[in-house]
Chain A
Amino acid sequence: MHDLNPTDVNKETDVTVDTRDDAKTTATSTTKAETTTKADAKAASKARRGKLFADLAPLIGLAVLAIAFVLVGTSSGTNMGYAVETLINQSVIIIIIATGAIFIFAMGSFDISLGASTLVAAMVAGLVHNATGSLWLMLGAAILTAVATSLISATLAAVFNLPVFVTTVAMLSVLGAVAAALVQTTGGAQIRIDRAFSREYDTLAVKLIVAAVFLALCVFLFNYTRLGRVEKLVGGNPMTAKLTGVSMKLTAIAAFGIAGLGVGLGAFLTVLRTPTLTVTSASDIGMNILVAMVFGGMVISGGPRSRIYAAIIGGISMALLNQTMSIMLQGMAGGAGIAQMVRAVLFLAVVWLAASGFRTKVLPR
């Protein structure tokens, strides 16, 4: 099946008629066909426009938010140099974790435990650093913990044949308890790593290097390898994927492994950014990841329209929105509530725009 195009229309209307009796009938049929094909072409054109708009909406949104941020910031005398640095600082962790999570979401799965997983990995990394003083061991501990946590969710789902979402709900609860237990090992209410150490490595350069390496890996895997194609196939039509011999369990495990790597790197940067960890640390990361992906144009149901760039676009868009709102609403009573409402309205608008481009009877290509 394919969309109609102008060439098809010309072919169908270019009919030669030899007999007079048939001529009347044929003329009527031709008129009907012309009307139908014109309507189809119009509908197809409208659908294409809608799809184009839906595709470009996240980028347009990003550009509009960037312009709004610059206009609002400069007009209010904001220190834009520091504000841009802050923007990167606040968005890079979300972008890294969300980019890894796209492998899960592309399959049409959902991981609600990403925030808790980040917290536990960060706590383990902090404890390892406090015990060894090593940056590399701390990084390794964060990655190993996060990947292990992620794989437990995927393996449980595979073994018990449960929806992955269900196992991540269970993991959310377990990880919360683990975080509380980890904090108690310090004999206090927090895990704190050496201030001087975190200040040394909590730099833009470290963040950008970690982000660049991980994002390049994810783009490569998602767009240029069989793994990425399979993830999208599973999300688009699991039955077809199964019938073509795709191992659903291995695909899920691979997706969760990559997401775990992202969580681990995010946790590593979290410890450097916030050297004091409590059980409430990273509590809003899970929701921020979801919002960032949606802002970036990620289709929550996954499938072939999943885009690896969604997290980057969405993460930056969200940071721009937060910064702009923060500048506009500073000092205003109830500013936080207003900002939340604006975010909620934009969230719904983005989802509606993204969905509106795909209201078609034709399967996505």
Chain B
Amino acid sequence: MRITRNAVAGTAATVGMTLALAACSSSAGTEASGSAAADGGDAVETVKMCALVSDVTSSEALAFRDYYTDYIASEFPVEFVYSDELTDAEAEKTAMEGFIANNCQAVISFASADRPTQLDMAEDAGIYYAVATGALSAEEYETFKDYEYYVGAIGPDAMTEFQAGYDMAQYFIGEGDTSFGIFGGGIPYYLEMHINRAAGMLTALAEDGTTSYGGATEMGDILGKIYADGTIKIQDFESDVYELTGYLETWDFDAAWQASMAEMIAADPDAILAVGTGNAILGSAVDGTDIQIGDIDAYTEDNLVAMENGTLGFLAGKFTSINGPIFAATLSAVQGEPYRTEDGSAFALSQGYWTATSAEEFQEIVDADNVESPVYDVDTLSPFVATGATYDEFADFVGKYTFADLVG
């Protein structure tokens, strides 16, 4: 017997009918349950909150996840559903489709390949959407700020990223270092935060009167040159005081990349300034040398070990519970009290890093903020979850993010 057209058509019709009937019956059921929820009730309903993530393996990503799934989920009426590792816009869209089909009530996004599409999908589906540890570009914010279901974004803005790079370079300059390598990470992919951080580093070096990058000494001009080149050209760095001995970018890990890394290490700079993932990428390579790494990453076990053994000299890091406020705002929105700015727009709030330059400082931060005992704990967050708090109060709460503010 062959598969005839009739057999295929018959099966297709049967499958189609089954799916269509299921779709119709389920739609009715969904509407009914939606109505019941809208009618209200005293029982606390568990909110299904979904997270889009582009990284599921780094210790930073795991710490963030543990904070939500282990701590927050045990203290608030919320269930978290995480996506797989999303590598591109198509994967993000597929994950969003899955979240919507599976009745997620809100999405917290850590994935940024195509935020406009994520926002559109959430708005069309009527589910709340928030950006964690990041920000929309100014243009995107103007486009989406009035979306009803866009909660807002909390994360380092461009100036905060610039400042983090600047502070890192200033620290090593203060230590008397004069020769540097730079790890540019996602600069060729025009990853804005990495470009801003690198611009901060070069701007700090250019404060010396003899130093310039492609003739530029000011923040705006240096940023412009990096954007124009899509990379950092060490031959364009001129200085009588400092030396750029090497530059590495991307995470290709192929033979050419390995050779570039070996060359940068062999040049024996005083420090390597990394726009991110510095210790993870270069830690083992500089082990046994005098080269120190400056990094912008997170307060993880690996980074603590690196700081203890002297490999990591400077860390501007996201602390474990940094995503507490965006969770509170999202849950508040789902429970009927979204925070909106004075003109009714979604919020865009900046939050920066905590800095450590010694193992002692690092340990102090880890002791003060961890999954078991986070600084953004239930007592700190609860006043901002559907309690009638105003936007200004919430913004003030988010703005006090420094170690001194939160730990004292």
Contacts and interface: CB of A to CB of B under 8 A. Distances in A.
Contact of A274 (B30, B79, B117): B117
Interface string B179-219: 00000001011110000000000000000000000000000
Given A81-B24, A331-B81, A63 B90 contact: no
A142 B189 CA distance: 25
A195 B101 contact: no
Interface in B129-183: none
A59 B90 contact: no
Contacts of B8: 59, 309, 312-313
Contacts of B87: 280, 283
A115 B390 CA distance: 50
Contacts of B97: 82, 86, 89-90
A169 interface: no
Contact of A84 (B23, B82, B103): B23
A195 B103 contact: no
A282 interface: yes
Contact of A189 (B5, B25, B90, B189): B189
B289 interface: no
A55 B84 contact: no
Interface string B66-97: 00000000000001111011011110011001
B22 interface: yes
A171 B12 CA distance: 36
Interface stretch (A18-26, A66-74, A127-135): A66-74
A280 B251 CA distance: 14
Contacts of A6: none
Contact of B79 (A73, A282, A331): A331
A232 interface: no
A335 B25 contact: no
A62 interface: yes
A336 B85 contact: yes
A79 B103 contact: yes
A195 B121 CA distance: 12
B368 interface: no
A326 B103 CA distance: 13
Interface-centre pick from A76, A195, A282, A330 (highest chain B CB count, 10 A):
A330
Interface in A34-66: 48, 51-52, 55-56, 58-59, 62-63, 66
A74 B11 contact: no
Contacts of A283: 87-88
B26 A274 contact: no
B22 A278 contact: no
B396 to A, nearest CB: 34
B89 A83 contact: no
Interface-centre pick from B1, B3, B189 (highest chain A CB count, 10 A):
B3
Contact of A90 (B26, B94, B190): B94
A189 B98 contact: no
A48 B89 CA distance: 47
A78 B102 contact: yes
Interface stretch (B13-21, B348-356, B397-405): B13-21
B316 to A, nearest CB: 24
A56 B15 contact: no
A63 B15 contact: yes
Interface of A: 48, 51-52, 55-56, 58-59, 62-63, 66-67, 69-70, 73-74, 76-87, 89-90, 184, 187-190, 195, 199, 270, 273-278, 280-283, 297, 307, 309, 312-313, 316, 323, 326-327, 330-331, 335-336
27 contacts: A55-B1, A59-B7, A77-B33, A78-B101, A80-B23, A80-B101, A81-B24, A82-B101, A83-B26, A89-B97, A188-B190, A189-B189, A189-B190, A195-B116, A270-B90, A273-B90, A274-B93, A274-B114, A275-B117, A276-B114, A281-B90, A283-B88, A309-B5, A323-B98, A326-B102, A327-B102, A331-B80
Given A280-B88, A281-B90, A326-B102, 20 more contacts: A55-B1, A55-B3, A59-B3, A63-B11, A77-B30, A79-B101, A79-B103, A80-B19, A80-B23, A80-B26, A82-B125, A83-B101, A90-B97, A273-B90, A275-B89, A276-B89, A276-B113, A281-B88, A281-B89, A297-B3
